[in-house]
Structure 1
């Protein structure tokens, strides 16, 4: 059966170009922004010998303390196999350790090591000038405005999601 509904013209199809008004425009712009930021942060982490996926786990461990792998996977948007590989990498590098959870011999909590904390802090120092470069074209107050808007978008108030 042929659909007789009107179809958008090629000019109104979703893009990530400025001025796009399609319903996908925000998602596409956020994807492009993510790629840009991820590239810059990858550049900051490369000399330290870790990747963004490693840093994401270290970030959770610094924030929450020892965390079971299931919760690390949820917090980082990873799957079970992916988080196991990342934690294996972090253990090999001496940045994290797995420890038994009292009362459940099947579960292991991952804990950041002192060396992991040092690398976490070094990553922030390395990233600072690169992060500044990312927002160099924003005007006075726009960095704070962008951060505020993205925070509200990423962490909606209960019931408004």
Structure 2
């Protein structure tokens, strides 16, 4: 582009407004949706004394059973130091324990405790009315459609 040629201003520019058609629109919209959902779910977890980062680890432990910290970090999008802090918190609260892995004394597998399972179940009960509030503006059948679309988007080919 030379100095005497006008810059092409017809390209769509990214905004954070509904209706944005820029190439960044989907990511911006997903970020806003995540922020809204995370805020609501944080509200559900607060009375239980845990944060979303704790609950994310409990989800993995309920789904997979005892899991080494390295795999917990990968599954939750955390780093090594971050996952250690979360597991430390969960242990302190009595929601999870670390156990040695047979054959490798250096590796620890994290396991949810019965108290952790109770809290996990209580979180679902607490979150239900808030989750319903999240999708209250959608028409009948749209919450299920949204879940289907997001699932296919997040897990392509499954």
Mapped to 1, the partners of 2:44 and 2:2 lie a distance apart of: 52
Name 1:29's counterpart in structure 2: 29
Mapped to 2, the partners of 1:2 and 1:113 lie a distance apart of: 66
Which sections of structure 2, spanning at least 5 residues, go unmatched?
none
Name 2:98's counterpart in structure 1: 98
Mapped to 1, the partners of 2:103 and 2:83 lie a distance apart of: 23
Which sections of structure 1, spanning at least 5 residues, go unmatched?
none
Mapped to 1, the partners of 2:89 and 2:8 lie a distance apart of: 49
RMSD: 1.8
Aligned runs of 1:1-80 on 2, under 5 Å? Answer: 6-8=7-9, 12-80=12-80
Please report how far the alpha carbon of residue 141 of structure 1 lies from its aligned counterpart in structure 2 after TM superposition: 0.8
Mapped to 1, the partners of 2:157 and 2:56 lie a distance apart of: 24
Question: What TM-score do you get using the length of structure 2 for normalisation?
Answer: 0.94
Name 2:108's counterpart in structure 1: 108
Question: What TM-score do you get using the length of structure 1 for normalisation?
Answer: 0.92
Name 2:145's counterpart in structure 1: 145
Please report how far the alpha carbon of residue 12 of structure 1 lies from its aligned counterpart in structure 2 after TM superposition: 3.4
Please report how far the alpha carbon of residue 140 of structure 1 lies from its aligned counterpart in structure 2 after TM superposition: 1.3
